[in-house]
Structure 1
Amino acid sequence: MTDNIKAALLMMGALAMLALNDTAIKTMALTIPLFQIIVLRNGVTTLALGFSILRAGRWPRLSRRDLGLSLLRGVGEVGAAYFYLVALVAMPFANIVAILQAAPLVVTLAAALFLREPVGWRRLSAIIVGFVGVLLIVRPGTEGFDTFALYALISVGFVTLRDLATRRLSPDAPAMTVTAITSAMVLVFFILLGLNDPWVPMNARSILLTLVAAAFVLGSYVTTINAMRIGEISFVSPFRYTSLLWALLLGFVLFGEWPQTLTLVGAAIVVASGLFTIYRERKTGRMPQTGPEEIQALESRP
Structure 2
Amino acid sequence: MTGSFQLRVVAMVVGAMILIVGGDVAGRMLTSAGFSQFFVAWARFALAAIVLAPVVGLQKGEMRLLLKPALMFRACLIAGGIASILTALKTEQLATVFGGFFVGPIISYALSAIFLKEKVTIPRTVLLLVSFGGVLLVVKPGFGMTPGLGFALLAGVFHGSYLVATRWLAGSYRPRFLLFSQLVIGSIVLAPLAIAPLPSLTLPFVGFITISAMGSAIGNLLLVHANRAAEASVIAPLIYSQIIIATVFGFLFFGEWPDSIALLGLAVIITAGAGSIWAAGRAK
* TM class by smaller structure: 0.7 to 0.9
Distance in 2 between the 1:66 and 1:111 partners?
24
Query: How far apart are residue 38 of structure 1 and its match?
Result: 2.6
Match of 2:38 in 1: 35
Counterparts of 1:233 and 1:207, CA distance in 2: 34
Equivalent position SS for 1:211:
helix
Structure 1's 80 and 230: CA in aligned 2 closer, same or farther, altered over 3 A? closer
Question: 1:269 maps to what in 2?
Answer: 268
Contact in 2 for aligned 1:99/1:267 (Cα 8 Å): no
- Contact persistence 2:78–2:162 (CA under 8 A): yes
Whole-angstrom CA distance in 1 between matches of 2:39 and 2:120: 42
* 8 Å contact from structure 2 (residues 74, 165) kept in 1: yes
1:239-284 C-alpha deviation (Å, 9 max, x unpaired): 5433222211111122111001221221222223233333333333
State the AA in 1 paired with 2:109: T
Q: Note the 1:203-242 alignment, pairs <5 A.
A: 203-221=202-220, 239-242=238-241
Alignment of 1:169-188 (within 5 A): 169=169, 171-188=171-188
* Conserved? CA contact 1:102–1:270, under 8 Å: no
Give the 3 Å change call, closer, same or farther, for CA 116–182 of structure 1 in structure 2. Answer: same
Asked if 2 retains the 8 angstrom alpha-carbon contact of 1:134 and 1:270, the reply is yes
* Distance in 2 (alpha carbons) for counterparts of 1:210 and 1:155: 20
Match of 2:253 in 1: 254
Q: TM-score of the superposition, structure 2-length normalised? A: 0.84
Contact 1:87 1:151 in 2 (8 A): yes
Deviates more, 1:226-235 or 1:241-250: 226-235
Structure-1 separation of matches of 2:237 and 2:85: 22
Q: What is the CA–CA distance in structure 2 between the aligned matches of 1:201 and 1:150, rounded to whole Å?
A: 31
One-letter amino acid of the counterpart of residue 12, structure 1: V
Q: Contact conserved, 1:8 with 1:231, CA < 8 A, in 2?
A: no
CA–CA separation in structure 2 for the residues paired with 1:123 and 1:30: 39
Task: Provide the secondary structure at the position in 1 that maps to 2:240.
Answer: helix
Find the aligned partners of 2:162 and 2:228 in 1 and give their Cα distance: 21
Residue ranges of structure 1 left out of the alignment (5+ in a row): 286-302
Name the amino acid aligned to 1:84: I
Matched residue, 1:148:
148
Q: Is the 8 A contact 2:124 2:279 kept in 1?
A: yes
Between the aligned partners of 2:233 and 2:193, the Cα distance in structure 1 is: 39
**Rounded Cα–Cα distance in structure 2 between residues aligned with 1:228 and 1:157:** 18
Q: Deviations over 1:115-140 (max 9, x none)?
A: 55442322222222122111111111
Deviations 1:74-96 (A, max 9, x none): 12112212211100221100111
Question: Structure 1 189/142 Cα, relative in aligned 2: closer, same or farther at 3 Å?
Answer: same
Distance in 2, Cα, partners of 1:26 & 1:175: 28
CA deviations on 1:175-217 (whole Å, 9 max, x unpaired) are: 111121112222123211133x223322221112212222323
**Greater displacement, 147-156 / 34-43:** 34-43
| Aligned position for 2:140 | 139
Q: Is the 8 A contact 1:76 1:159 kept in 2?
A: yes
From the superposition, tell whether residues 225 and 105 of structure 1 become closer, same or farther in structure 2 (CA, over 3 Å): closer
What is the aligned partner in structure 1 of residue 17 from structure 2? 15
Deviation of 1:8 (Å): 4.2
- Distance in 1 between the 2:76 and 2:152 partners? 17
CA contact (8 A) 1:136 1:265 kept: yes
Give the match's secondary structure for 2:54. helix
Measured in 2, the distance between the counterparts of 1:209 and 1:244 equals 22
Q: Equivalents in 1 of 2:206, 2:28: separation in Å?
A: 14
